Structure 1
Amino acid sequence: MRALIFGATGMVGQSVLRECLLDPEVSEVVTIGRSATGQEHAKLREIVHPDLGDYSAIEGELSGFDACFFCLGIASAGMSEADYSQITHDIPLAAAQVLARLNPAMTFVHISAAGADSSESGRIMWARVKGRTENALLRMPFKGVYIIRPAVIRPTHGVRSRTRLYRILYDVITPVLPVFERLLPRYFTSSETLARAMLTVARQGAPKRVLESDDINRLSRPTDTRT
């Protein structure tokens, strides 16, 4: 499988990249972002592309992929709806439109969030925008489109969010996360479990197209031979 990852420097993207590089069924991984991950691996090729709304300059490098993991995102705190929409809606749709044309047999796996508003009309801005993005992606002519809606993600293997607000939040709640995870397991997943579930979806699909935290945990398949 040849895999394309957007947002590979973020917490989810770091985890997806790690799992792709460890997975023997993934033959090549290409990352696209405004900055490089800084990693080196025989299977990894990085494309640093400053304008994530326009891919005309690199279209020649975007064909022949089996899967795309779109992990790019941002916190909505302090943002206007227009600015948040530009990152959360316009950028993934710009990438998806090009990729659907060049890779119609691709599976597109998009990270959203628990609570996204599929009606697009709710009172919560971030949920409304994410719901609009989900709906637009689900209409794209890929082989398959899957929306991943994690709730609370427990970081593993040293991955960290690039968003300062999230880093502070994780630093505060990390000591009590195991307690809440035992009490409310359906709302928690680890970054490793999430990434493995996304790879499973890319390979073999899933029973439904919008996957919540419970679905993510069920889809992740254990692997004993990796470290």
Structure 2
Amino acid sequence: MKLIIFGATGFSGSHFLKQALLNQKIEKVLCLTRRELQVKNDKLINIVHNDFTKYDNDMIEKMVTDYDGCLWAIGGKHLDFKTLEEHFKVSHTMVYEFVKMIEPVIQKQSKVFSFLYLSGKYADQSESAYYYLLGPTRNVKGKTEKELTQVQQRLPNLFTLSILRPAGIVESKWLPKILPSQAVHVDTLANVALDLISSNNLYTTKIYEQNDIINYFK
């Protein structure tokens, strides 16, 4: 499989990349990043790209033509951003604009394309989560899930959408063991994501909650 990864300079995305380079099912990895990656590997192609809401048509065509799927790991809690507008742009606009751009290319080429979106626990597709209970984060993730699902429904036999809703993503090996409902090891998450995107042929949308993720390989 040939795979695109967005977010490879972040915590989760960097582990997605690490595991993808180790995974024998993955033969090539394209990472679009704002700064050059320090990782060097024969399987890796790194393109420095400054604006994740804009791509030229040739780039979009090439990504769909040459690659089989995409892992999206850009985003975060609204508390990590200076403004709610910035959070919305990074956590919703970037991914939705990209998927809207690849949609007509997938349709034109009749090319099956798999997409995995890293969401979060308690994402609220009704967009009605209470503000002081991480409402902006949950609502933006829920809105993104909902709108990506609408794209998948328009491409029912061509676009596979997997949504991961992990709780806390950690490097600690003991925390997920004592708090399995609240934490998942980042490498476990990465391996689940890679297995899903390399084997998913449901041509539908499926959401994987925290419990599904930690028990995926059992």
TM-score (ref. length: structure 2): 0.83
2:76 counterpart SS class:
coil
**Residue in structure 1 matched with residue 163 of structure 2 by the alignment:** 147
Quote the Cα distance in structure 2 between the aligned partners of 1:101 and 1:6.
20
1:147 counterpart SS class:
strand
The 8 Å contact of residues 9 and 37 in structure 1, kept in 2 or not, is answered as yes
**Residue in structure 1 matched with residue 98 of structure 2 by the alignment:** 95
2:74 corresponds, among 52, 72, 75, to: 72
Show structure 2 runs of 5+ residues with no match: none
For the pair 1:35 / 2:38, whether they are aligned, the reply is no
Quote the Cα distance in structure 1 between the aligned partners of 2:32 and 2:103.
16
**Residue in structure 2 matched with residue 59 of structure 1 by the alignment:** 60
Which of structure 1's runs of 4+ aligned residues deviate more than 4 A?
A: none
1:184 corresponds, among 167, 179, 185, to: 179
**Residue in structure 2 matched with residue 194 of structure 1 by the alignment:** 189
Tell me the alpha carbon deviations over residues 135-172 of structure 1, each in whole angstroms, 9 at most, x when there is no partner.
011111352111111101122xxxxxxxxxxxxxxxxx
Q: CA deviation at 1:6?
A: 0.3
The 8 Å contact of residues 126 and 142 in structure 2, kept in 1 or not, is answered as yes
1:219 counterpart SS class:
coil
**Residue in structure 1 matched with residue 15 of structure 2 by the alignment:** 15
Quote the Cα distance in structure 1 between the aligned partners of 2:77 and 2:188.
22
Give the 3 Å change call, closer, same or farther, for CA 75–52 of structure 1 in structure 2: same
TM-score (ref. length: structure 1): 0.80
Letter in 2 for 1:111: L
Tell me the alpha carbon deviations over residues 177-221 of structure 1, each in whole angstroms, 9 at most, x when there is no partner.
83x533321322111110110011112238871111111122247
The 8 Å contact of residues 164 and 208 in structure 2, kept in 1 or not, is answered as yes
Tell me the alpha carbon deviations over residues 76-102 of structure 1, each in whole angstroms, 9 at most, x when there is no partner.
115433221111110001111223333
Give the 3 Å change call, closer, same or farther, for CA 220–37 of structure 1 in structure 2: farther
For the pair 1:212 / 2:209, whether they are aligned, the reply is yes
Q: Which moved more, 1:61-70 or 1:10-19?
A: 61-70
Letter in 1 for 2:28: E
Identity %: 25
Q: CA deviation at 1:67?
A: 1.3
For the pair 1:115 / 2:150, whether they are aligned, the reply is no
Quote the Cα distance in structure 1 between the aligned partners of 2:143 and 2:61.
29
Aligned Cα RMSD in Å? 2.1
**Residue in structure 2 matched with residue 134 of structure 1 by the alignment:** 145
Show structure 1 runs of 5+ residues with no match: 156-173, 222-227
